[in-house]
Amino acid sequence: MTAVQAQHVLKTEDRLQEMTEKYGQFETLDLIEAMVKQEFSGEIALVSSFGAEAVVLLDLVAQVDKNVPVIFIDTRKLFGETLRYRDKVAETLGLTNIISVQPDPVDVEAEDKNGLLWSRNVDACCDLRKVRPLARAMDQYAAWFTGRKRFQASTRANIPLIEQDGSKFKINPLAHWDAAALEKHMQSRNLPRHPLVEDGYPSIGCMPCTRRVEPGEDARAGRWAGIEKTECGIHIAENI
């Protein structure tokens, strides 16, 4: 690490501490508004999978500013229901700035010509189809909203509201929300629901790597079932 890089890291860490102290006790909607209109005006995006619970954060951000960039990673391996749900949610909430990103076709031709990379090397598939497309899309932003929540899995139990993630800041406005709070918000706002939830999919990713969840399992137990993988890689700091 060069001296300039080290100085940048220190400044970033100082800013993280300042924001944590300033906004750590804010209500969710107030936190979102502060990030959009004060801390990262024009420099923040919402990264959304339009999955099972995504509509809650999308709705909250839309209440602040319907034109906040919403980055949607179309891996080309998603359920058709997810693509149709994305369009329905966008229309319902009046979202005006959805940015759909896809894997580089040149990379796909070189690394996954037959479309079965997921069956041979799931980490490489996620890197090709999710991590790299998002990294390219995030180049112009300093921060991003995520919909991660502590209750979703043991690996997410300590998610902070604001964190440093590589060169970016990551804001997790729903980190402390539980399933009951999400359900209450969805009902009170009459928000559309992902059609696969009723079919036993509380967490929805790419079609080949997502299965139904059995009673008593973590909500994310259906993701990459049977292997130790629990995250696609976009939440690993050095990747974005």
**Is the C-alpha dihedral spanning 170, 44, 88, 206 positive or negative?**
negative
pLDDT at residue 47 is higher than 70: yes
Give me the amino acid identity at 232.
C
> CA-CA distance, 219 to 200, in Å (whole number)?
10
> CA-CA distance, 204 to 224, in Å (whole number)?
11
Residue 232 a catalytic site member: yes
The residue with tokens 């209440």 is: 63
Q: Are 32 and 60 in contact (CB under 8 A)?
A: yes
Alpha helices in 129-178 (DSSP H): 132-137
Q: Which of 5-9, 50-54, 106-110 has the lowest mean pLDDT?
A: 5-9
pLDDT by residue (tens digit) across 208-238? 999 998 888 777 787 877 776 666 666 554 5
Instruction: Tell if the pTM clears 0.85, that is, is over it.
Output: yes
pLDDT by residue (tens digit) across 109-152? 999 999 999 999 999 999 999 999 999 999 999 999 999 888 77
Residue of 125, 206, 209, 232 marked catalytic: 232
Q: Does domain 27-239 have CATH number 3.40.50.620?
A: yes
